[in-house]
Protein backbone atom coordinates (compact mmCIF):
# COMPACT_ATOMS: atom_id res chain seq x y z
CA UNK A 1 0.00 0.00 0.00
CA UNK A 2 1.37 3.43 -0.95
CA UNK A 3 1.29 6.51 1.26
CA UNK A 4 2.20 9.99 -0.03
CA UNK A 5 2.50 13.10 2.12
CA UNK A 6 2.72 16.39 0.23
CA UNK A 7 2.37 20.11 0.71
CA UNK A 8 1.32 22.71 -1.86
CA UNK A 9 0.29 26.34 -2.06
CA UNK A 10 -2.82 27.82 -3.53
CA UNK A 11 -2.07 29.05 -7.02
CA UNK A 12 -2.13 32.84 -7.39
CA UNK A 13 -5.64 34.07 -8.15
CA UNK A 14 -7.07 30.55 -7.72
CA UNK A 15 -10.62 30.34 -6.42
CA UNK A 16 -10.55 27.87 -3.53
CA UNK A 17 -13.72 26.68 -1.80
CA UNK A 18 -12.97 24.36 1.10
CA UNK A 19 -16.52 22.97 0.92
CA UNK A 20 -16.16 22.11 -2.76
CA UNK A 21 -12.75 20.53 -2.18
CA UNK A 22 -14.16 18.43 0.66
CA UNK A 23 -17.13 17.17 -1.38
CA UNK A 24 -15.07 16.37 -4.48
CA UNK A 25 -12.28 14.72 -2.47
CA UNK A 26 -14.65 12.53 -0.51
CA UNK A 27 -16.44 11.43 -3.68
CA UNK A 28 -13.28 10.77 -5.70
CA UNK A 29 -11.37 9.08 -2.90
CA UNK A 30 -14.31 6.88 -1.96
CA UNK A 31 -14.63 5.69 -5.57
CA UNK A 32 -10.92 4.90 -5.84
CA UNK A 33 -10.40 3.47 -2.35
CA UNK A 34 -7.99 6.22 -1.28
CA UNK A 35 -7.97 7.39 2.33
CA UNK A 36 -6.01 10.08 4.11
CA UNK A 37 -6.14 13.48 5.72
CA UNK A 38 -6.13 16.97 4.25
CA UNK A 39 -5.46 20.19 6.12
CA UNK A 40 -6.00 23.48 4.37
CA UNK A 41 -6.15 27.02 5.58
CA UNK A 42 -7.16 28.25 2.13
CA UNK A 43 -3.55 29.17 1.29
CA UNK A 44 -1.68 25.92 1.92
CA UNK A 45 -2.63 22.28 1.50
CA UNK A 46 -1.05 19.49 3.53
CA UNK A 47 -2.32 16.06 2.65
CA UNK A 48 -1.53 12.41 3.18
CA UNK A 49 -3.00 9.90 0.70
CA UNK A 50 -2.92 6.14 1.10
CA UNK A 51 -4.22 3.09 -0.70
CA UNK A 52 -3.47 0.91 -3.69
CA UNK A 53 -0.40 2.21 -5.53
CA UNK A 54 -2.26 2.78 -8.82
CA UNK A 55 -5.13 4.61 -7.11
CA UNK A 56 -2.84 6.83 -5.03
CA UNK A 57 -0.68 7.62 -8.06
CA UNK A 58 -3.73 8.53 -10.15
CA UNK A 59 -5.12 10.72 -7.35
CA UNK A 60 -1.80 12.48 -6.86
CA UNK A 61 -1.44 13.07 -10.62
CA UNK A 62 -4.89 14.75 -10.60
CA UNK A 63 -3.77 16.95 -7.71
CA UNK A 64 -0.56 17.94 -9.49
CA UNK A 65 -2.55 18.84 -12.62
CA UNK A 66 -5.13 20.85 -10.65
CA UNK A 67 -4.63 24.55 -11.45
CA UNK A 68 -5.50 25.49 -7.85
CA UNK A 69 -2.24 23.89 -6.66
CA UNK A 70 1.15 25.56 -6.97
CA UNK A 71 4.57 24.34 -5.82
CA UNK A 72 3.56 20.77 -4.96
CA UNK A 73 6.30 19.18 -2.85
CA UNK A 74 6.34 15.50 -1.83
CA UNK A 75 7.48 15.21 1.79
CA UNK A 76 7.19 11.43 2.02
CA UNK A 77 6.40 8.61 -0.41
CA UNK A 78 6.53 5.18 1.18
CA UNK A 79 5.02 1.74 1.39
CA UNK A 80 2.89 0.96 4.45
CA UNK A 81 1.56 -2.42 5.56
CA UNK A 82 -1.87 -1.13 6.53
CA UNK A 83 -3.97 2.02 6.37
CA UNK A 84 -3.17 4.57 9.01
CA UNK A 85 -6.20 6.70 8.10
CA UNK A 86 -9.16 4.35 8.06
CA UNK A 87 -11.52 6.82 6.43
CA UNK A 88 -11.22 10.01 4.43
CA UNK A 89 -11.19 13.11 6.61
CA UNK A 90 -10.43 16.78 6.22
CA UNK A 91 -9.24 19.11 8.93
CA UNK A 92 -10.04 22.76 8.52
CA UNK A 93 -10.69 25.74 10.73
CA UNK A 94 -13.99 27.56 10.56
CA UNK A 95 -13.91 31.30 11.23
CA UNK A 96 -15.77 30.64 14.50
CA UNK A 97 -13.37 27.90 15.66
CA UNK A 98 -10.74 28.60 18.26
CA UNK A 99 -7.22 27.25 17.90
CA UNK A 100 -8.11 24.72 20.61
CA UNK A 101 -11.01 23.43 18.50
CA UNK A 102 -8.68 22.83 15.55
CA UNK A 103 -6.12 21.15 17.83
CA UNK A 104 -8.84 18.79 19.10
CA UNK A 105 -9.99 17.97 15.55
CA UNK A 106 -6.43 17.20 14.47
CA UNK A 107 -5.65 15.13 17.55
CA UNK A 108 -8.70 12.98 16.81
CA UNK A 109 -7.89 12.65 13.10
CA UNK A 110 -4.20 11.85 13.68
CA UNK A 111 -4.77 8.97 16.12
CA UNK A 112 -2.66 6.11 14.83
CA UNK A 113 -0.68 8.26 12.38
CA UNK A 114 3.09 7.84 12.39
CA UNK A 115 5.10 10.45 14.27
CA UNK A 116 6.55 12.09 11.14
CA UNK A 117 3.06 12.75 9.74
CA UNK A 118 1.67 13.99 13.06
CA UNK A 119 4.66 16.30 13.54
CA UNK A 120 4.38 17.63 9.97
CA UNK A 121 0.71 18.54 10.41
CA UNK A 122 1.23 20.10 13.84
CA UNK A 123 4.35 21.96 12.66
CA UNK A 124 2.69 23.46 9.59
CA UNK A 125 -0.27 24.66 11.61
CA UNK A 126 1.98 26.19 14.26
CA UNK A 127 3.99 27.97 11.56
CA UNK A 128 0.82 29.31 9.91
CA UNK A 129 -0.40 30.64 13.28
CA UNK A 130 2.94 32.34 13.92
CA UNK A 131 2.64 34.16 10.59
CA UNK A 132 -0.95 35.27 11.26
Task: Please write the tens of the pLDDT for every residue from 80-104.
Answer: 998 888 776 666 666 677 778 777 8
Q: What is the dihedral of CA 116, 121, 86, 67, to 10 degrees?
A: -120
Report all structural domains of the chain as residue ranges with CATH numbers, in order of start.
2-131 (3.30.70.100)
Between 17 and 75, the higher pLDDT residue: 75
At 73 the pLDDT is: 94
132 burial (CB, 10 Å; 0-12 / 13-18 / 19+) is exposed
Residues forming a β-bridge with 4:
49, 77
Query: From the DSSP assignment, how many helices (H) and strands (E) are in the chain?
Result: 4, 5
Amino acid sequence: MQQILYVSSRAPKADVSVGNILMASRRNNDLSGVTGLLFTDGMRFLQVLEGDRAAVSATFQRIQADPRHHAVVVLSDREVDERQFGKWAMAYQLPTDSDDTLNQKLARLLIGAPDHIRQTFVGLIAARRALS
